[in-house]
């Protein structure tokens, strides 16, 4: 006799949640319409984060919750926090300018040309966000994304600040080792 349980029709294996959408999502549309060939890793990070911020998939919902929590102001220290979930800093001015331009109709292919001095800083922040998103997403397990809003701290603990600093260094190594442009592999 098998120990596997049958999953009822119309349900997913994720704690009885409805099955994932099969229609197009903002992130899927972006991935289909956009080639990353010739882009820097910084540009790819910015575009991935931008796509997730308007995505309805579960990972997109977690990203939107993480971005909506203000870190570093307006709260007092309370009981010491665990390491996870990690907070993220608010969007920086470089990334905000690029995101606003993308929402205003600037084509992704024109990011590097229109924002030559801000792509590097915005890309680094976007990749740090994506890395923290992946860590928080995995720590969330099968819980609904809305659970994260109640768990995210408004002030980083010492341990979290140290972890974020180390992750930021890792992002720098990743971007420096990644080369200048992504080759066309088609």
Residue 3, token pair as written in the block: 């120990």
Is the backbone peptide bond immediately before 85 cis, with ω within 30 degrees of 0? yes
Predicted confidence (pLDDT) per residue in 6-22, tens digit: 434 443 333 334 434 45
Predicted confidence (pLDDT) per residue in 60-109, tens digit: 899 998 888 755 543 434 334 578 889 988 888 999 999 999 999 999 88
Q: Which residue has the higher pLDDT, 31 or 126?
A: 126
Q: What is the helix (H) or strand (E) element at residue 60, kind and residue range?
A: helix 58-68
Q: What is the helix (H) or strand (E) element at residue 146, kind and residue range?
A: helix 146-151
Q: Is residue 175 within 8 Å of 95, Cβ to Cβ?
A: no
Query: Alpha-carbon distance 112 to 149, whole Å?
Result: 33
Q: Most distant CA pair in the chain: distance in Å?
A: 63
pTM: 0.72
């Amino acid at each position: 006799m098998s120990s596997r349980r049958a999953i009822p029709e119309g349900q997913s294996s994720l704690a009885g949640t409805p099955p994932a959408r099969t229609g197009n999502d903002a992130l899927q549309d972006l991935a289909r319409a956009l080639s990353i060939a010739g882009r820097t890793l910084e540009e790819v990070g910015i575009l991935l984060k931008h796509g997730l911020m308007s995505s309805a998939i579960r990972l997109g919902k977690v990203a939107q919750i993480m971005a909506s929590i203000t870190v570093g102001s307006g709260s007092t220290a309370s009981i010491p926090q665990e390491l996870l979930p990690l907070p993220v800093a608010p969007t920086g001015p470089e990334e905000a300018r690029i995101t606003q331009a993308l929402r205003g109709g600037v084509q992704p292919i024109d990011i590097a040309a229109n924002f030559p001095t801000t792509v590097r800083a915005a890309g680094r922040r976007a990749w740090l966000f994506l890395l923290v998103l992946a860590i928080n997403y995995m720590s969330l397990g099968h819980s609904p994304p809305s659970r994260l809003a109640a768990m995210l701290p408004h002030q980083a603990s010492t341990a979290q600040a140290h972890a974020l600093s180390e992750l930021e260094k890792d992002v720098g190594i990743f971007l420096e080792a990644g080369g200048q442009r992504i080759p066309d592999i088609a």
